[in-house]
Amino acid sequence: MKHEMFMRMAVDLALENVLTNKGGPFGAVIVRNGRIISIGRNQVTAKNDPSAHAEIEAIRAACKYLNTYQLTGCELYTSSEPCPMCLGAVYWAKLNGIYYAATSKDAAKIGFEDEYIYKQFNLPIEHRSIPMFRIVPENTYAPFNAWIKQPYKQGY
């Protein structure tokens, strides 16, 4: 029953966001041990920030609240299946699970490019719609070598 309550909240956040003209139709809630840790609304247009998706906003708020960069033990409830960027952030944050309502195909039907971006990942670099070029200066691996030797590094 709690799953449905948290999902309803994520969807309500998405609806409120649209009705108040504050951003796209996406909302997210992060929960830990049955308690809401953070919420997020799509703020892309409000902040002029293409990374301000509801899931990212919720992850940032949860990390700040819990004073950590890993959200192990937390679950994400989101009004729509996470886009590739948000899915990557979920993995980096090490959330325990994702619950979603609408699918990426549903989002594509109303003009969101999630499916298109997912397809781009599977293409060889030279066939992607945004060209990528590798440039390798002599110091390319200096940061990696310094990382390997760093005795006080904190892995993530």
Q: For helices 54-66 and 84-93, give the axis angle rounded to 10 degrees.
A: 20
List of residues 6+ apart from 65 with CB closer than 8 A:
37, 38
* The total number of residues written for the chain in this structure: 156
Assess whether 55 carries a catalytic annotation: yes
CA distances (Å), 125 to each of 25, 33, 116, 121, 128, in order? 31, 41, 15, 8, 6
d(CA 73, CA 38): 14
Please identify which of the residues 16, 55, 75, 138 carries the catalytic annotation.
55
Hey, which residues are catalytic here?
55
